[in-house]
Chain A
Amino acid sequence: MKCRKCRGKAIIKLYEHNLPLCKEHFLEFVEGRVQKAITDFRMVKRKERVLVVVSGGKDSLTLAFILKKLGYRISLLHIDLGIDEYSEISRKFCEEFANLYELPLQVISIKKEWGKGIKELARETYKSPCSLCGLVKRYYFNKFAYENGFSCVATGHNLDDMVSALMANLLGWRISYIAKQTPVLPEEGKLKRRIKPLVYLTEREIGAYAFLQGIPFSRQDCPYAHTASFLKIKHLLNQLEVSSPGTKYSFYLGFLKNKQLFGEGKVTLRECALCGFPTVTEICSFCKTFRKEEVRNYAGES
């Protein structure tokens, strides 16, 4: 198989684009797609400070690598969820990456903050580990970005993540969630802008890029990953993709073209009475989960 650009030996074929590419042109393609997403959706300006949330996995570390290569001003944040060996290994990969590529890295440890990891906290709060994980990560990365003067938060969500979330929410007709599956969630008050520069890229493309660039990343699955319904939906979409290449890309582009059908997903935000961060209710979900005593006292006083 020959590279479409230079007729050299192809090392990958991008079926959705019917495009075989050699190593050099594939790397160029991937970086080009990230820049295209940033430009198309006006995600961030070069002078702005970007906080990249890294988990230690291929997507977030590849995102950080490419943003740095493209000349953006980035810092890294890792949230250590305290899930035993899984979190220890994830953290090590983030630290190794930060050292290797000379990037500032801040680590927030849930165990240090609360004395326990996500598993124990999930049991105590009667929430699933996955929903608690999402709540905690969103709270801390927004808070850190706000308090440290970052213009936006960048996450490693890729095309597969976006279409599986879209499909999952469509199946349940969760309209407000569907509306939020956009590449940029704008800033609102203390809620910093969130950007997803990998939206035009599949997990396969990102994995191949990380491998070819020698980016060290964790290959382990979260011990709770098997409980995530998105994984089953990803698998279904990938089966469709094999029989009809381009399905995922068309599905997502179609959503972007027609997203006005789902409204703007806008809700009226206010400041949490306890922590001051954005919420739709008087007390935010994070405080309701983790500051029960203070919530009770507040309720008693009011």
Chain B
Amino acid sequence: MQVKVNGEIKEVRGKKRVGEILEELGLNREEVLVIKNGELLTESDWVEENGEIEVMRVVSGG
């Protein structure tokens, strides 16, 4: 599957739950939102092997 993080595309293998994807990419669930086809996903949602999702960072530093 393709995961877009900060404008960069990362490849994640296999069908996985969102929580597992975040862990694999070293991302903190408190700091991101996961979006697929314009909808929010929870950590327990599955993403197919050929799926595409976006991870949006929500932490601002200013």
Q: Which residues of A contact B (CB under 8 A)?
A: 1, 10-13, 15, 20, 55, 57-59, 133, 160, 202-204, 206-208, 211-212, 219, 221-222, 225-226, 228, 230-231, 234-235, 238-239, 241-242
Contact = CB atoms under 8 A, between A and B. Distances in A.
A211 B33 contact: yes
B33 A204 contact: yes
The 3 closest A-B pairs by CB, nearest first: A225-B61, A207-B58, A238-B30
Interface residues of A: mostly helix, strand, loop or mixed? helix
Interface in B26-62: 28-33, 35, 39-45, 56-62
B58 A204 contact: yes
Nearest to A160: B59
Contacts of B31: 203-204, 235, 238
A137 to B, nearest CB: 10
A241 B30 contact: yes
Interface of B: 28-33, 35, 39-45, 56-62
A42 B16 CA distance: 46
A149 B52 CA distance: 50
A204 B30 contact: yes
A68 B29 CA distance: 30
A238 B60 contact: no
A225 B42 contact: no
A228 B42 contact: no
Contacts of B42: 1, 10-13, 20
Contacts of B40: 11-12, 208, 211-212
A219 B62 contact: no
A15 B30 CA distance: 9
B61 A203 contact: no
B28 A203 contact: no
Residue from the set B28, B31, B41, B43 with the largest chain A CB neighbour count within 10 Å: B31
B62 A242 contact: no
A211 B45 CA distance: 18
Nearest to B40: A11
Contacts of B33: 204, 207-208, 211
Given A11-B39, A204-B31, A238-B30, A55 B58 contact: no
A228 B61 contact: yes
Given A204-B31, A239-B28, A58 B39 contact: no
A203 B62 contact: no
A235 B28 contact: yes
Contact of A211 (B35, B59, B62): B35
Contact of A242 (B28, B35, B60, B61): B28
Nearest to A211: B33
Nearest to A222: B62
A230 B45 CA distance: 32
Contact of B29 (A207, A211, A242): A242
A207 B56 contact: yes
